[in-house]
């Protein structure tokens, strides 16, 4: 019970849905000794694979890529999780490969066949919200048994896991609500700038989180700091360009290159963005303000938010509540790490996407540009972390495609 109470207070400190699911699943697996587990979130009439952990397969298969896969299952008896969601009942299975003929659910053996993994015991728990609706399914696989081999889930393990999922529902709903609120802010920016889409924001959030993860591992950061920062960054990075709502449409949507005067106004989106988080109420606000202010600051000190000088039309500066150049330009390590990371993630995504003013670049040209700008536009440490991501970058692109 004290473990479960501790879990609930730690869940309250998490912001992103991924971090909340990761925490719940880790705890449920530890309580029940399960070797692997998946959280599925209900998405309309299907269940999406939303979080996957597997101790035996880590290293064998790239599980980070699987976190970003958008596979889903129907809510019916064609799978065990689908059946748990359909009926709201907990399903306990001793051997997934020996489900009796005539059972109301089926086990899909394809994943085991592809990965060489042997699924034996399964505990599939519906996560029900306060209005009685199934919002998710938590599925635990291969409870620890005697002699290091998987055994069945004990009734005690099933009881604890059920208690945990019962309380997890509220945390999952909070995570879903935060994500929706952030995406709504992004949609407001998108009303003005059609390139600032939900998928672009989600890709930048995911690239930034994974770049940070790789960088923190390379630095030998502790797992507590790593998880906490990755959690905040994945959400704060999505808000990097919401300040574009403060830029006139004629500039934002101009099909060709900007004049120097227009460019100077455009630069102010960093200031507008930072101003939205002026009175920070949380660590998330502080990070979002840093990112909005400095995501166009180059590592070599060029770039902005400064945008001072004669280019900015006086009538623009004369408007009330307009930026006065008070955001100091920074260089190198003085640029907040989160902004250095998002600076690269945003440019990579902008380069490989079409904009009103440019065509999409092929991926290899975008990567060549980033490599060439190491130490110029970009922090070399961030560039190294980006290039270490491998297939995760593609998995993220496929997870959040442009419509």
372: contact with ligand C2E by CB under 6 A? no
Of 27 and 262, the one with the shorter C-beta distance to ligand C2E is 262
End-to-end CA distance of the chain: 46
**Least distance from C-beta 59 to ligand C2E, angstroms?**
35
Residue with tokens 């905040």: 232
**Least distance from C-beta 327 to Fe ion, angstroms?**
13
Task: Lay out the site mask for ligand SIN across 294-333 (x = CB under 6 A, - = otherwise).
Answer: ---------------------------------------x
* Whole-number Å distance between alpha carbons of 41 and 173: 11
228: contact with ligand SIN by CB under 6 A? no
Quick one: what does residue 257 bind among Fe ion, ligand SIN, ligand C2E, none, with the CB cut-off 5 to 8 Å set by partner type? ligand C2E
Q: Which of 360, 353, 355, 365 is nearest to 397 (CA)?
A: 353
Site for ligand SIN in 362-401 (CB under 6 A): 365, 368-369, 372
**Least distance from C-beta 67 to Fe ion, angstroms?**
23
Quick one: what does residue 111 bind among ligand SIN, Fe ion, ligand C2E, none, with the CB cut-off 5 to 8 Å set by partner type? none
70: contact with ligand SIN by CB under 6 A? no
Q: Which of 69, 29, 33, 73 is nearest to 53 (CA)?
A: 29
* Whole-number Å distance between alpha carbons of 118 and 139: 15
What six digits make up the tokens of 341?
């990371």
Quick one: what does residue 356 bind among ligand C2E, Fe ion, ligand SIN, none, with the CB cut-off 5 to 8 Å set by partner type? ligand C2E
36: contact with ligand SIN by CB under 6 A? no
Site for ligand C2E in 231-260 (CB under 6 A): 254, 257-258
**Least distance from C-beta 247 to Fe ion, angstroms?**
10
| Number of Cβ within a 10 Å radius of residue 128 | 16
Of 96 and 347, the one with the shorter C-beta distance to ligand SIN is 347
Residues 385 and 214: beta-carbon distance below 8 Å: yes
Which helix (H) or strand (E) segment holds residue 40: the answer is: strand 34-43
**Least distance from C-beta 338 to ligand SIN, angstroms?**
8
Residues 386 and 344: beta-carbon distance below 8 Å: yes
Q: Which residues pair with 6 in a beta bridge?
A: none
Four-point Cα dihedral 230, 231, 234, 238, nearest 10: -140
306: contact with ligand C2E by CB under 6 A? no
Q: Given the residues 113, 227, 244, 358, select the one marked as catalytic.
A: 244
**Least distance from C-beta 42 to Fe ion, angstroms?**
30
Of 175 and 246, the one with the shorter C-beta distance to ligand C2E is 246
CA distances from 165 to 8, 42, 231 (A): 11, 15, 21
| Number of Cβ within a 10 Å radius of residue 170 | 15
Quick one: what does residue 347 bind among ligand SIN, ligand C2E, Fe ion, none, with the CB cut-off 5 to 8 Å set by partner type? ligand C2E
Quick one: what does residue 42 bind among ligand C2E, ligand SIN, Fe ion, none, with the CB cut-off 5 to 8 Å set by partner type? none
Of 168 and 393, the one with the shorter C-beta distance to ligand C2E is 393
Task: Lay out the site mask for ligand C2E across 321-360 (x = CB under 6 A, - = otherwise).
Answer: -------------------------xx--xx---xxxx--
Cα 23 versus chain centre, distance? 14
* Whole-number Å distance between alpha carbons of 268 and 287: 19
**For 245, how many CA atoms within 13 A lie in the half-sphere containing its CB?**
19
Give the three-class secondary structure for 153. coil
What six digits make up the tokens of 379?
């922090």
311: contact with ligand C2E by CB under 6 A? no
Site for ligand SIN in 346-365 (CB under 6 A): 365
Q: Which of 97, 88, 338 is nearest to 211 (CA)?
A: 338
| Cα angle, residue 196 at apex, residues 280 and 352 outer, rounded to 5° | 120
337: contact with ligand SIN by CB under 6 A? yes
190: contact with ligand C2E by CB under 6 A? no
244 is catalytic: yes
- By annotation, the residues acting in catalysis are 244
Q: What does the binding site for ligand C2E look like in residue numbers (CB under 6 A)?
A: 195, 254, 257-258, 266, 296, 346-347, 350-351, 355-358
Q: What does the binding site for ligand SIN look like in residue numbers (CB under 6 A)?
A: 333, 337, 365, 368-369, 372
């Amino acid at each position: 019970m004290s473990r479960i109470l501790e879990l609930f207070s730690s869940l309250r400190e998490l912001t992103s849905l991924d971090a909340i699911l990761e925490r719940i699943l880790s705890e449920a697996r530890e309580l029940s000794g399960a070797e692997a587990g998946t959280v599925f979130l209900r998405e309309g009439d299907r269940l999406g694979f939303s979080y996957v952990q597997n101790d035996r397969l880590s290293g064998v298969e790239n599980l980070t890529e699987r976190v970003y896969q958008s596979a889903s299952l129907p809510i019916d008896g064609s799978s065990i999780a689908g059946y748990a969601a359909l009926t709201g009942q907990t399903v306990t299975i001793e051997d997934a490969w020996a489900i009796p003929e005539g059972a109301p659910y089926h086990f899909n053996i394809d994943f085991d066949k592809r990965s060489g993994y042997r699924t034996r015991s399964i505990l599939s728990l519906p996560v029900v919200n306060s209005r009685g609706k199934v919002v998710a399914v938590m599925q635990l696989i291969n409870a620890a048994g005697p002699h290091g081999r998987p055994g069945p889930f004990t009734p005690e393990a099933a009881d604890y896991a059920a208690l945990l999922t019962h309380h997890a529902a509220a945390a999952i709903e909070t995570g879903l609500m935060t994500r929706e609120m952030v995406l709504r802010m992004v949609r407001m920016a998108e009303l003005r700038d059609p390139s600032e889409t939900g998928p672009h924001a989600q890709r930048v959030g995911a690239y930034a989180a994974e770049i940070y993860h790789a960088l923190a591992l390379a630095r030998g950061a502790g797992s507590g700091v790593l998880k906490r920062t990755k959690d905040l960054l994945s959400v704060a990075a999505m808000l990097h360009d919401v300040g574009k709502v403060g830029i006139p449409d004629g500039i934002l949507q101009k099909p060709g290159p900007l004049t120097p005067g227009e460019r100077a106004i455009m630069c102010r989106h960093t200031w507008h963005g930072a101003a939205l988080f002026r009175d920070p109420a949380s660590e998330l606000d502080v990070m979002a303000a840093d990112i909005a202010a400095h995501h166009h600051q180059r590592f070599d000190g060029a770039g902005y938010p400064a945008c001072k000088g004669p280019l900015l039309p006086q009538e623009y500066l004369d408007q009330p509540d307009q930026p006065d150049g008070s955001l100091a330009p920074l260089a190198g390590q003085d640029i907040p790490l989160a902004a250095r990371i998002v600076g690269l993630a945003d440019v990579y995504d902008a380069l490989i996407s079409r904009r009103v003013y440019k065509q999409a670049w092929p991926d290899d040209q975008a990567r060549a540009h980033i490599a060439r700008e190491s130490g110029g536009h970009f922090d070399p440490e961030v560039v190294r972390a980006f290039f270490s991501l491998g297939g995760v970058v593609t998995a993220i692109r496929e997870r959040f495609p442009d419509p």
